[in-house]
Amino acid sequence: MSAPIIGDLMLRREDAWAQREVADRARGMQVEVGWALDPAREGHGYATEAVRELLRYCFEELHVHRVIANCFAGNDASARLMERVGMRRETYAVREALHRSGRWLDSLVYAMLDDEWPPARPGRDQGQD
């Protein structure tokens, strides 16, 4: 019997911005990630676990320099998730993203750099070298 699908993850690899002389070193060095979870499965940490593994894959297997993720400014569950996995809030953009309602909404960009991975996990990593 196969396991039920309870959500999905998105990973889009892209070139980081660079000056022409060093453009080859920026190729494929940034990833945008995203996620959606079945609402019936929310509140158990499944998305957090999946996004941590996605970040691990980006940094430890793809060896990218930077991972970013976006959400609408009012999407508190996603913002909490990004902070829980150690991403930093970098940008608050005003009326940048079009909602399906037809309204332009504010959005947030979170990021993590390769030298910030793996982040310390409070209560788990304390006391360890």
Ligand X SMILES: CC(C)(COP(=O)(O)OP(=O)(O)OC[C@H]1O[C@@H](n2cnc3c(N)ncnc32)[C@H](O)[C@@H]1OP(=O)(O)O)[C@@H](O)C(=O)NCCC(=O)NCCS
Residues within the interface to ligand X (CB under 6 A) = 34-37, 42-48, 69, 71, 75, 77-78, 80-81
Least distance to ligand X, CB of residue 21, Å: 34
Select 28 or 45, whichever has its Cβ closest to ligand X: 45
Nearest residue to ligand X by CB is 45
Pick 20 or 124: Cβ nearer ligand X: 124
Backbone φ, ψ for residue 116 (5° rounding): -100, 0
Question: How far apart are CB 36 and ligand X at their closest, in Å?
Answer: 4
- Our CB check for ligand X shows the closer of 9 and 26 to be 9
